[in-house]
Amino acid sequence: MKICVLCGGRSNERDVSLSTGTMVAKALRASGHKVVFLDACEGFELNKMSPSELYDAEIPMAERKISEAAPDVSKYFGRKEGFFGKSVLDICREADIVFNALHGDEGENGMVQAVLDLLGIRYTGSGMQGCILAMNKHLSKQLFIANGIPTPPAVYLTNGISDDPDWRRHIGFPCVVKPGSLGSSVGVSIVYNDAELDAALREASRFESLVIIEKYIRGREFSVGIVGGKALPAIEIIPKHGFYDYKNKYQAGCTEEICPAELDEAVAQRMGETAVKVFKVLDLGAYARVDFMMDESGFYVLEANTLPGMTPISLLPQEAKAAGISFNNLLETIIEESLSLKK
């Protein structure tokens, strides 16, 4: 099968995406597929080579490392060619399927999915609608509430104006301040008092005009992967210092992960069932990951991730391994599930 692994992009998760793309491309080549590793924003200079010939070339890939801080992606904005680099869509058209390894922004908010849909290009993961609903934390939380899915209470600020002027009484401290539709904990702060609030709001507002202030759940953190509509074993996430921020997510040794998580069997089952319900409510497809916090009163859904990372220390591959699914078989299942969807 000819597969284009589309990665990179211009979100703050660019480095994570390149790492995911490298891991995925190498594994798919090892499984016998003809694979092109393609940076969505950098593109590829074909010269006299046709897109079809590119799939036979097996161009070597450099190792990709994730830095401790999100990268500077400013050079990819405001340019004449827009989001996609040279020959990207021509190379995607030649593929039997595009493995979408983009993280954040256009790769997960439905924009890339819409372009591929319009061009009749098949791709992995959720369609445009599911991506829009999951990426916008305001929309997804409203759907959680409407469908009886437990989620921490929150208020929403647009350009600094709150939908609840009395939010301090309803939410209180500590609270979590975060941009409305970013991933990888970019722009997220845990705030304990008014003195810290202004700095946290400025930080989140650097990325988006919509900011969420959410009740902080002090307790244990979990994630549950969904593949083909079925829940994988839950994984517990225990950062060694601070919370599960960008550095702790992607730097080896910063976080302890336990999979399967040490949970009461009934609780683990309910958490898996809730993850599947989230998957269906948000109209997701093929695979996803749902994040939870749990305190003494129960567990709460934080958000759903439509394109979980596939880096060396990512959560979904660890969960799949605990279920007896190898990394290569996980990718094959994702491709099969995606091809079966009507996009």
Whether this prediction's pTM lies above 0.85 is answered by: yes
Q: State residue 171's pLDDT score.
A: 87
Q: Which of 305, 314, 319, 338 is catalytic?
A: 305
> Are the C-beta atoms of residues 191 and 197 closer than 8 Å to each other?
yes
What confidence score (pLDDT) does residue 291 get?
A: 96
pLDDT one-digit tens code per residue, 308-343: 988 767 899 999 999 999 999 999 999 999 999 865
74: left (phi over 0), alpha (psi -120 to 50) or beta: alpha
- The stretch 20-30 carries a mean pLDDT of 96
214 among known catalytic residues = no
Of the pLDDT bands very low, low, confident and very high (cuts 50, 70, 90), residue 69 is: confident
Catalytic residue among 13, 105, 108, 245: 13
Question: Is residue 248 very low, low, confident or very high in pLDDT (cuts 50, 70, 90)?
Answer: very low
Percentage of the residues of the chain whose pLDDT score is greater than 90: 69
More confident residue, 256 or 331: 331
Catalytic status, residue 156: no
Q: What angle do CA 7, 241, 248 make, to 5 degrees?
A: 5
Mean pLDDT of 213-228: 95
- Output the average pLDDT for the chain: 90
Tell me, yes or no, if 305 is annotated catalytic: yes
Q: Tell me, yes or no, if 13 is annotated catalytic.
A: yes
What interhelical angle do 14-30 and 327-340 show, nearest 10?
A: 100
Asked if pLDDT for residue 203 goes beyond 80, the answer is yes
pLDDT at position 247 is 47
289 is catalytic: yes
Q: How many CA atoms lie within 13 A of 130 on its CB side?
A: 24
Q: What's the confidence (pLDDT) of residue 181?
A: 77
Two tokens at 166?
A: 């009395």
The confidence score (pLDDT) of residue 168 equals 76
Q: What's the mean pLDDT in 255-266?
A: 94
Q: Quick one: average pLDDT of 18-29?
A: 95
Q: Which of 39, 291, 300, 319 is catalytic?
A: 291
Q: Give the CA distances from residue 190 to residues 39, 151, 201, 203, in Å, rounded to whole numbers and listed in that order.
A: 33, 17, 11, 12
The answer to whether residue 184 is catalytic is yes
> Strand pairing of 97-100 and 2-7?
parallel
Phi/psi at 235 (5° precision):
-120, 135
Token code pair at residue 191: 């705030």
Does residue 241 register a pLDDT over 60?
A: no
